[in-house]
Amino acid sequence: MSSSIRTCAITKCENSSFALCNCCQELICIDHLKVHSDQCNAQLLPIADEVNQLLERLNEVNSTELICVKQLEEWRQAAHRLVDSFCEQKRHALLNRVHKREREKLDNCRGKLNELIRKKGGTPENIESLRNDLRLIEQNLNELKHFQLELQPLVIDSDLITIPRSNQNILQLLIPDKKIECVSPHFYLLASNDQYLLADIGATLCLLDLDLNTVKEIDFTYGSVWDMFWSSKISRFFVMTKNRILTFDIVTMSIQLCGIPCDSDSLWTRGTCSDASLYLSAISNEDSAFIHEFTLPLTSFVRTHRLPSSSNVGNSIRDIKFRSDSFIIIRGDWKPHSATCLELRSAITLDCLWSVPIDTAGRCYYMNKNNWIVVDYYKEQLLRISMDGAIVEQSKYVPGPTDVLPWNDDLLIVRTAKQINLHVLQ
């Protein structure tokens, strides 16, 4: 009976085969197996040398020599010149206005005085009149020391500088780079400004830094948070409950009521703001969706916008964001698993620019100048929507995301029912 043992696959080798070689995928003897193993291991040393060389090159990179850094510095200098020029124009206009106004008054007094001296026509009445004029001018000059301007913070659009991404599949997120455990009694929301991430955790509002460390926190005793968002106009967060609109000052760590009433037949649900206005939506008994507009910073009522009824999905506003004179709106009932659609509407006319159906969308955020990002909690996915309303990417995210927040260009914060995850985008 012939033997079942095969000889080594190497030509002219008559030794019995020992194992399947991972290098050549052939059955070879133990001697040649060692040879192949040594050959593979020998390739590791040159690779290690290449890694060391690339690390050395990286360490030698001078940031001032990079074209992109030079571009950024040139942009910074040009922006500073623009701000300096603007301030110089305002300074010149301010001084010219003050000097011109008071100089005209003084020249008028001088003219009257010279005329009286020339004619030797001074009387107690006109002398007292001149003195009164001079006292008023002196009073104005004294008050000028305490004169203050009405200044608005300089709002810089993050899209002024865009860092291109090498990975076009932005939402293919792997293990979070950082995460924290957290629970909330209701919607599991997020908000941010340039410095802090705001999260409602338990019965507190927590300010988190870029490492998801709690920097500050304050007790929140007004009930479940339905929405929260930053206003650069007033440099505070707006926090919404079902029947209250509040502001959260992160400097003084204080919460104040805005005094915006909620109708007994309505409940506040979502909000957003532009540089000049605050926009609030509410659940009402009517078969329509409404957006109520208020001025900033005084939150005086301006008007109510009524959205056209939708025949395909419910009329409630599940989320709303303002961006560049437009609203991005998620329409749909508040019932679980209800169908929704994402709409882009003019903030002036409310005309629908485009609409895209999404299974069960819950939250949306502006990502950059080309994309919106949408959360679909029940389908456990994130979606990326182009500015013309096309779904360009869908990615599974388990457990289902309740909110998502692009932060500082290269970070994506995803909240689930039990934790907050930080992903560094590539």
User: pLDDT tens digits, residue range 76-92?
Assistant: 999 899 999 999 988 88
Distance in angstroms (rounded) separating the CA atoms of residues 408 and 404:
13
| Per-residue tokens: 9 | 């696959």
Name the residue type at position 394.
Q
Q: Residue 78 corresponds to which amino acid?
A: A
From edge to edge, which strands make up the β-sheet containing 317-323?
A: 317-323, 326-331, 340-346, 352-358
Strands 178-181 and 27-28: unpaired
When mean pLDDT is compared over 104-113, 205-214, 304-313, the highest value belongs to 205-214
- pLDDT more than 90, % of the chain: 35
What pLDDT, on a 0 to 100 scale, did the predictor assign at position 287? Answer: 66
Percent of the chain with pLDDT over 70: 94
User: Which residue, 238, 198, 205, is CA-closest to 219?
Assistant: 205
Count of Cβ atoms closer than 10 Å to residue 277 Cβ: 17
Alpha-carbon distance of 327 to 346, in angstroms, equals 6
* pLDDT above 80 for 34: yes
Q: 180-212, pLDDT tens digit by residue?
A: 998 776 678 999 998 999 999 888 999 999 899
pLDDT at residue number 1:
40
Q: CA 421, CA 175: separation in Å to the nearest integer? A: 9
The secondary element (H helix, E strand) that includes residue 44 is helix 44-60
Taking Cα atoms as reference points, which of 261, 270, 267, 271 lies closest to residue 283? 267
| All residues at 6 or more sequence positions from 372 whose CB lies less than 8 Å from its CB, including other chains | 328, 342, 364, 365, 366, 384, 385, 386, 387
The tokens describing 299, both together, are 């939150």
Stated as kind and residue range, the H or E segment containing 57 is helix 44-60
pTM of the model: 0.69
Q: Which of 248, 223, 250 is nearest to 238 (CA)?
A: 248
The answer to whether 247 and 255 are in contact (CB under 8 A) is yes
Confidence of residue 18 (pLDDT cuts 50, 70, 90): confident
Between 33-42, 46-55, 302-311, 409-418, the lowest mean confidence (pLDDT) is in: 302-311
List pLDDT tens digits, range 335-391.
888 889 999 999 999 999 999 998 888 899 998 767 899 999 899 999 999 989 999
At 2 the pLDDT is 47
SS3 content of the chain, % helix, strand, coil (to 5): 25, 35, 40
Q: At the top level of CATH, which class does the domain 173-424 belong to?
A: mainly beta
Average pLDDT, stretch 229-250?
93
Task: Tell me which amino acid residue 149 is.
Answer: L
Q: Given strand 403-407, what is the order of strands in its sheet?
A: 178-181, 419-424, 411-415, 403-407
Look at residue 325 and give its three-state secondary structure: coil
Domain positions in the chain: 19-60, 72-144, 173-424
Taking alpha carbons only, the member of 404, 329, 402 closest to residue 171 is: 404
Identify the weakest region by mean pLDDT among 3-7, 32-36, 210-214, 414-418: 3-7
Q: Which helix (H) or strand (E) holds 295?
A: strand 289-295
Q: Pick the residue with more confidence: 111 or 366?
A: 366
Q: What is the mean pLDDT of residues 212-239?
A: 93
**Listed residue (324, 264, 237, 331) closest to 291, CA to CA:** 331
**Residue partners of 395: CB distance under 8 A and separation at least 6:** 169, 171, 172, 173, 381, 382, 383
124-144 and 67-119 helices, crossing angle to 10°: 170
- Identify the pLDDT of residue 299: 83
Report the alpha-carbon distance of residue 164 to residue 170 in Å, rounded: 11
Q: How many whole angstroms separate alpha carbon 384 and alpha carbon 392?
A: 6
- State yes or no: pLDDT of 221 exceeds 80: yes
Structure tokens at 348: 């002036």
The residue count for the chain:
426
